[in-house]
Chain A
Amino acid sequence: MSEKVLMKGNEAIAEAALMAGCRHYFGYPITPQTELTAYMAKRLPKMDGVFLQAESELAAINMVIGVSSCGKRVMTSSSSPGISLKSEGLSYLAGCCLPAFVVNVQRGGPGLGGIQPSQSDYWQATRGAHGDYRTIVLAPDSVQEMVSLTIKGFELADKYRMTAMLLADGTLGQMMEPVSLDAGEIKTFDKPWATTGTKMARPHNIINSLSLIPEELEQWNLERFARYDEAEANEVMYEEYRMEDADVCVVSFGITARVSKNAVDEARANGIKAGMIRPITLWPFPKKPLLAAADKVKAFISVEMSMGQMIEDVELATRCKKPVLLCSRTGGVIPSVKEVLEKINEAEKIGGDRA
């Protein structure tokens, strides 16, 4: 299937999920991700799959817990306020050590906010709900990458028995781009822990997030974090763009990375050595390349559609070795190339000496 098709980001996620072997979708429509739900409603019944529009987001995420317990690939999707409703279930998934694939096509917040695009769920996605746990967070910047990262998300979720979240935004969800649906080989993983029926041949598998013994719960947490450590060591993804000799490093993900890339090119055309590091995994965050860059550049700029959330991870990763400026728009507004360019000019001037 080498021929390309023209897809909306939301549709591309849905099709990629089907390619990854997902046959169970539970969701509740919300703008700007509804096309994903609608696409699943059309496709899954024809593939002997299960599409269910739940009565609420809370119901949907609990259905995900059920199917994941049985060892099947399963997903849900929503947009910002809907993800808040699903947060309880996300913590329970972590408590139960279950894999799940969850999509957040972000819109402006807090509260009901608005339906225009945003990246202001960065903290929510990378920090999550109650309890000690981690979520793999994947941030695509194109419709094609929405396909590859969706497939990757299912694989990572199974591999580490944790939730992988695709963190997109309304623009990426709504925009149309030509994509290739050539997935290559899809990785699958044995799930000896799944509740598939003992057939009287093995002890019962129990999926549970409640522990009555404090020491036992602590042990579970240690085991969970051993898996998280492994994911952190092996699964960091990022893109470096024109960083070889950069004086200013723009850090940006998703749709703002596309704007930032244009700004980097314009800055270069104006004689300013700008570059970009684009985190593709927001957790695990690409700490190493940022720390390495901190010894080379004058300053960093975090470009975000939020009041400044990722900037804290940039400061942590670079151990505050160099100033980190913020370029941000919120409420559904996408920063313009001009705005990023102005920040690059500012960073070039105020930044400390190049090491």
Chain B
Amino acid sequence: MFDYRRITLFAGHYGSGKTNIAVNWAAMLRQHEEKVMLADMDIVNPYYRAKDSKERMDALGIKLISSFFANSNVDLPSIPQEMYAIVDDRSWHPVLDIGGDDRGALALGRYAPKILEENDYEMLFVINRFRPLTRDAAGTMEVLREIEAACRIPFTAIVNNSNLGAETAPEDVLSSLSYAEDVSALSGLPIKMTTVSESLYPELSGAIPDLFPLELQRRPTE
């Protein structure tokens, strides 16, 4: 059981795995809370959006807030009006999927004052050692600072999502732990959890503390 606050925000380098983690975090929260919403605040990514998990969210009774234009043929970086519910209606537990990098995080700034004022949030920095620009702690810190500067919400913890996609081996995850610790040491942030695909979870659950399994989202096909 992971502890949580009212608002959970996932941000990080694009391609670090934020959307998958946000979807699964929302599913976990739903086991404890009635009113859970998944808010797709990605204004950067044209494909592979939280909206791909709409069926799963519907089945779990999780409200999905997403741009009308997500996954469409139109490139409109927009956020729907109902996004204000994340700060205006405190009866909900929103999970926010923030778009990649500082450019993606810029849109969050609009909600930052109210999120900070309420102070019942967790701002999680998703990292993946196998992404080319965040292969070491120094490069990863650069992304962290850029995002914080853009959205004006400081991170509160780290999510280690180091993976090589379908080719991820248990050793890859294990070898990423020291990297996550380096980022933790440099940033002063605790490591909240390490995330792995469900298939790797049984093998690693004894070896890594705070391990969180991910059911990977797929783009729906006809």
Contact = CB atoms under 8 A, between A and B. Distances in A.
Contact of A6 (B47, B103, B131): B131
A176 B48 CA distance: 10
Interface stretch (A108-116, A227-235, A243-251): A108-116
A115 B132 contact: no
B81 interface: no
A5 B135 contact: yes
Contacts of A176: 15, 165
B60 interface: no
Given A42-B133, A176-B15, A6 B73 contact: no
A8 B130 contact: no
A7 B15 CA distance: 8
Contacts of B167: 4, 178
A170 B46 contact: yes
B175 to A, nearest CB: 9
A174 B46 contact: yes
A176 B164 CA distance: 9
Given A7-B131, A171-B47, A174-B47, A113 B73 contact: yes
B74 interface: yes
Measured as residues with beta carbon below 8 angstroms from the partner, the interface class of chain A is 20 to 34
For B14, B47, B130, B222, the residue with the greatest tally of chain A CB atoms inside 10 Å of its CB is B47
Contacts of B166: 178
Interface in A194-248: none
A47 to B, nearest CB: 13
Interface in A1-48: 4-8, 11, 15, 31-32, 35, 38-39, 42
Contacts of B47: 32, 116, 170-171, 174
Contacts of B74: 114-115
Contacts of A115: 46, 73-75
Contact of A8 (B15, B103, B163, B164): B15
Contact of A178 (B14, B130, B221): B130
Given A115-B73, A176-B15, A32 B131 contact: no
Contacts of B165: 6, 176-178
Nearest to A30: B75
A5 B103 CA distance: 23
Nearest to B133: A42
A42 B143 CA distance: 11
Contacts of B103: 38
A32 B15 contact: no
A6 B128 contact: yes
A115 B166 CA distance: 26
Contact of B73 (A4, A108, A336): A108
A286 interface: no
B164 A4 contact: yes
Closest 7 CB pairs of A and B: A114-B73, A178-B164, A6-B130, A178-B167, A31-B75, A174-B47, A115-B75
19 contacts: A4-B164, A5-B130, A5-B164, A6-B15, A6-B130, A6-B165, A8-B15, A11-B132, A31-B75, A35-B14, A42-B133, A113-B73, A114-B74, A174-B45, A174-B47, A176-B15, A176-B165, A331-B73, A332-B73
Interface of A: 4-8, 11, 15, 31-32, 35, 38-39, 42, 108, 113-116, 170-171, 174, 176-178, 181, 331-332, 336, 338
